[in-house]
Homo-oligomer: A and B are copies of this chain.
Amino acid sequence: MSFDLGVDSLGDLSRGAALLGTGGGGDPHVGRLLVTQALGDRTVRILDPDEVADDAFVVPVAQMGAPTVGMEKLPGGDEPVAVLRAIERHVGRTADAVIPVECGGINSMIPLFVAARTGLPVIDADGMGRAFPELQMKTFAAYGISGSPMALAGENGETAIIDTGTDDKRMEWLARGVTMRLGGIAHVAEFTMSGADMRRTAIKRTLTLGIRLGAALREARRDHRDPVAALAEVVADTEYRHLRALFTGKIVDIERRTEGGFAVGRARFASFGAADTSELELTFQNEHLVAEVDGRVVCTVPDLICVLDAETGEPITTEGLRYGQRATVIGIGTPPVMRTEQALAAFGPAAFRLGTEFRPVEELTAGTAGTAAPTP
């Protein structure tokens, strides 16, 4: 169902997108401020993917780079529109709609910002239903859409167009090089496609999902309900279906560095009890990739691993992880279309050289005492 979105929905979307960002995706709060300023008291038209014309020209717009850099280097405001115009000029066609590449993190907001500035509608769908660190890690790519030609824009009005044919990994490699030279953050337009191809390859209604997840967290806090149970209720009603509480404990070690233009590192969580000495280790590359409890994998990409503040249920990004923080780590299953062979080749554990096979979080945690989820 299409609808009009105003600034009053941005709070929920921001919180839900932080959750779907699985630790990365850039800070949606920054994006929320940009959209709020650009939108004022107007609204953005959010198109249901099933209501987009087959021959519409759909342009995914996003920010790329290390979230740790993005926190300090805010968009000037012209880049997201400049990059849309650059790809339009290059392919000689005007966009009919923009779409998020990822509904996690700041990239839930960038298309809304472009829409607020240009009057274009935003499609309620994305290319992963979460956040991923690399450009080729999208259902668009997994199901045959080419990322090239893509455009990048920097804060000084610079633009670049990259065309690597059908080789999206090569596109990522070159675009990452340009992004690093632009200071670690760039805005991009890539995987341009028809409305029909969008409908065939996108994860649908993920903006709505972000808003619903954010609202569930807000209401749970207001009503003094368990936030994890509240999230599980929303998830159960979607193609994600499964939510599992993986661990609750405090952060005892955090190691992070910027490498190759990514924020990479590990965090260790120890359980509270003196008697229980189990630990959870989280590995991330912008986003959380794998969670292990006492050396046993309990959740891996493309399933979602999210860290929530143990008291408030607020999602914590990898940049926000701090020694001593008390947190609950949850795993959320991805939609079936994210778990196919093609999809796992694009963004499963092997794509990150994790040395483990993908198994669904609901299988990995089946029968584990203490981590069974309060799914309704």
Assess whether A180 is interfacial by the CB under 8 Å rule: yes
The number of times this chain is found in the oligomer is 2
Query: Is the CB of A42 closer than 8 A to any CB of chain B?
Result: no
Q: Which A135-179 residues sit within 8 Å CB-CB of chain B?
A: 156-165, 167, 170, 173-174, 176-178
Option from B157, B159, B174 in Cβ contact (under 8 Å) with A158 = B174
Report if A200 contacts B (CB, 8 A).
Answer: no
Taking a contact as CB atoms closer than 8 A, the residue among B161, B162, B164, B176 that contacts A90 in the complex is: B161
Interface residues on A, range: 20 to 34
> A73 contacts the other chain (Cβ, under 8 Å)?
no
- Given A178-B177, A181-B177, the answer on whether A156 and B164 have CB atoms closer than 8 Å is yes
Interface string of A232-253 (1 = CB under 8 A from B): 0000000000000000000000
| B160 and A162 form a contact (CB under 8 A) | yes
A182 within 8 A of B: yes
User: Which residues on B sit within 8 Å (CB–CB) of A180?
Assistant: 177
**A340: shortest Cβ distance to chain B, in Å?**
28
Which residues in B have their C-beta under 8 angstroms from that of A159? 162-163
In Å, the complex CA distance between A182 and B177 comes to 10
Contact with B along A257-273 (1 / 0, CB 8 A): 00000000000000000
Q: A163 and B163: CB pair below 8 A?
A: no
Cα distance A157–B165 in the bound complex, in angstroms: 8
State the CA gap A158–B164 with chains docked (Å).
4
- A and B contact pairs by CB, cutoff 8 A, 7 listed: A86-B163, A90-B161, A156-B167, A156-B170, A157-B164, A161-B161, A174-B182
